Chain A
Amino acid sequence: MRFEAVSKRFGNFVAVELLSLDIFEREFFALLGPSGCGKTTLLRMLAGLEQPTEGRILLDGLDISGVPPHRRPVNMMFQSYALFPHLTVEANIAFGLKQDGMPKPEIATRVREMLELVKLDGFGERKPHQLSGGQRQRVALARALAKRPRVLLLDEPMSALDRKLREDTRFELMELQNTLGLTFVIVTHDQEEAMTVADRIGVMNAGQLAQVATPSEIYEHPNSRWIADFIGDINLIEGRVASSGLGHTVIESMTGGRFLVAAEATVGAAVAVALRPEKLRIDTVASGASGENGFPGRVTEIGYLGGVSVYKVRLDNGLDMKATLTNHTRLTAQPIAIGERVRLSFAPEAGVVLLR
């Protein structure tokens, strides 16, 4: 599946701008972005519910831009589920099959298979309003999968579920995609969801793709300040390249202090260094730790999250940094207290140099 310079405008509003993207067969692809970034519009264009203003959408090399939704080998699971309230669960799942003119006995078999697949055997006679939110979501999934589409589109499929159910559902989705061997395209604003389920993520911002890469690549090697900031927690230090060579770069921070990063960059360029909080090391000054890239500071805030604790540290050069520490042992008292003098440090490999 391929987007070629696709744009979509609603009046003066540009929802998607000159976007090109390839989605591969049997891939689990996530479109991630803040609300209003155009990700749902992109999905709706795949389904045929919106027509691109410019550009082409290709499926197996064929332009499907003008094909109406009911003739596309693509099915969508709607955010609101859009189950037909006047039809039973079975009739909902059978709806698409009937449109294809599938013989009745085959429809019955397929519906039974789908109900089994989403673990709703015995619920076929019910109406959607007699189901819980999670069950409804499964019916919507079964209905979209019943026609065995080439591509399954999922529009924020888990936004209406509670947290626990959402986490279970993620893994079930991945399993389904594995067993059925279909291409899944999911739209979500939940980065954790995208990171968990997807093989590749396309991060969208203001109608354009900011980065398309595997989850780990996006997390570890964001290609811009915006991506680094959008995905997960990050410390961004603005600075200038002082010297660079042999795989290492010395960066002079805007607020004073120099540090070493394992990357090469043009000398004199204005850059930002992105540091994930969990890659920072935090020691009490009293421990006498020393080494590369160490900055003295004072703890201003501590957030205890159970598995990890977040420390906010104001460095002596004025920067506010965030560091997380895994709570390896059961805490009786915080090993580091608010107001304590600490030393933050990081390995040269921990930082990512961002030019944009």
Chain B
Amino acid sequence: MTDAAKPALRKAPDWGRRLVILVPALWLAVFFVVPCLIVLKISLSQTVIAQPPYVPVLDLAAGWPGLRDFAGGLSLDSYKMLGSDWIYLTSYLRSLAIAAMSTVILLAVGYPIAYGIARSPRRLQPVLIMAVFLPFLTAFLIRIYAWINILQREGLLNDTLLALGIVREPVVWLATDTAIIIGIVYSYLPFMVLPLYASLEKLDESLLEAAADLGAPRWKAFWLVTVPLSASGIVAGALLCFIPIAGEFVIPDLLGGSSALMIGQTLWTEFFQNKDWPVASAVAIALLLVLLAPILIYQHVQMRALEDR
């Protein structure tokens, strides 16, 4: 009797725990795994002029033979296409290069901001964090259009530079990579600052005092203590920016030129202009695989940070 009662008692909290995990698991399954599988499926199809614009179409009503026909119709043609045309490879590399460049600049701009906030009086910190997020109160598109205004030939930036005598001729900003990077750094800054702030805010000031006491001048203490102890924030911020930037579409489309594309723009072209769903899906799947690497690195660092606690 008691033996039978025991596992029943133990099961009750176990179920509660499973239920709690179930909600996010379901969410991920419905809104991430299933769409991913659909995209994967389309990427393995061929394009046709029809509705939907690809074959084979999975018809579960046809039963087993239908499934077999469907499986037989799948091919890797779209992926071969990615390898055959330079446009894809160059857009991938361009995206990664721009994402890397922006992330480095974001880190350089975001770290001092986060450090400054973390070192400011405690009462002030929530206000300053709010200030970092303040631009989000206006619509994203409006802010990017504002940048077009600032960066154009007769824009605010050129006016200022000319007035200060720094340049003699208006500089071409718009439709350059510089414009893309300015737009990206501006838009993603809060995503860099927040994780950095979170890790810097926890930093015990006495560690810096100890470093000074042991003979490290300020800059060295910063390099040997502050930076390694904020590594988790650096990695989190960098990935939080790098991954979405690599797939960014709106900013390069509005601020960048039309000659060289980022992968998001290539994907858009395939999907909406060429109506080639399978190749567009293959582009997306390949991007996912490319970005999986930094995500795995992030996981690894997170695990290490947890161990160190």
CB-based contact A78/B210 at 8 Å: yes
Q: Which residues of A contact B229 (CB under 8 A)?
A: 85-86
| 10 additional A-B residue pairs with CB within 8 Å, beyond A70-B213, A75-B213 | A47-B213, A68-B212, A70-B215, A70-B216, A74-B213, A82-B204, A82-B207, A85-B308, A95-B214, A99-B215
Report A39-51 CB contacts with B as 1/0, cut-off 8 Å: 0000000011100
Q: Which of B206, B217, B225, B231 contacts A78 (CB 8 A)?
A: B206
User: A-B contact count, CB below 8 Å?
Assistant: 65
Chain B residues near A (Cβ < 8 Å)? 204, 206-207, 209-217, 220, 224-225, 228-229, 231, 308-309
Return the chain A residue nearest B305 by Cβ: A86
CB-based contact A99/B213 at 8 Å: no
The answer, yes or no, to whether A178 is at the interface (CB within 8 Å) is no
Q: Which residues of B contact A86 (CB under 8 A)?
A: 228-229, 231, 308
CB-based contact A84/B213 at 8 Å: no
- Which range holds the interface residue count of chain A? 20 to 34
- Which of the listed residues B211, B215, B217 has the most CB atoms from chain A within 10 Å of its own CB? B215
The answer, yes or no, to whether A258 is at the interface (CB within 8 Å) is no
A80 to B214, CA, bound (A): 16
The answer, yes or no, to whether A143 is at the interface (CB within 8 Å) is yes
CB-based contact A127/B204 at 8 Å: no
CB-based contact B209/A75 at 8 Å: no
CB-based contact A129/B309 at 8 Å: yes
A143 to B215, CA, bound (A): 12
A68 to B210, CA, bound (A): 13
A34 to B214, CA, bound (A): 28
SS of B interface (majority): helix
The answer, yes or no, to whether A124 is at the interface (CB within 8 Å) is no
The answer, yes or no, to whether A147 is at the interface (CB within 8 Å) is yes
Q: Which of A69-85 contact B (CB under 8 A)?
A: 69-71, 74-76, 78, 80, 82-85
CB-based contact A78/B214 at 8 Å: no
CB-based contact B212/A80 at 8 Å: no
CB-based contact A49/B225 at 8 Å: no
A-B contacts, 27 listed (Cβ < 8 Å): A47-B209, A49-B209, A49-B213, A69-B209, A69-B212, A69-B213, A70-B217, A71-B215, A74-B213, A76-B210, A76-B213, A78-B206, A78-B210, A80-B206, A84-B207, A84-B211, A85-B229, A85-B308, A86-B228, A86-B229, A95-B214, A95-B216, A95-B224, A100-B215, A127-B308, A129-B308, A143-B214
Return the chain A residue nearest B209 by Cβ: A49
Q: Which of A49, A71, A80 contacts B204 (CB 8 A)?
A: A80
The answer, yes or no, to whether A55 is at the interface (CB within 8 Å) is no
Return the chain B residue nearest A80 by Cβ: B206
Q: Which of A51-73 contact B (CB under 8 A)?
A: 68-71
Q: How far is the CB of A77 from chain B (nearest CB, A)?
A: 9
CB-based contact A82/B216 at 8 Å: no
CB-based contact B215/A82 at 8 Å: no
Q: Which residues of A contact B308 (CB under 8 A)?
A: 85-86, 127, 129
Q: Which of A74, A82, A96 contacts B206 (CB 8 A)?
A: A82
Q: Which residues of A contact B217 (CB under 8 A)?
A: 68, 70
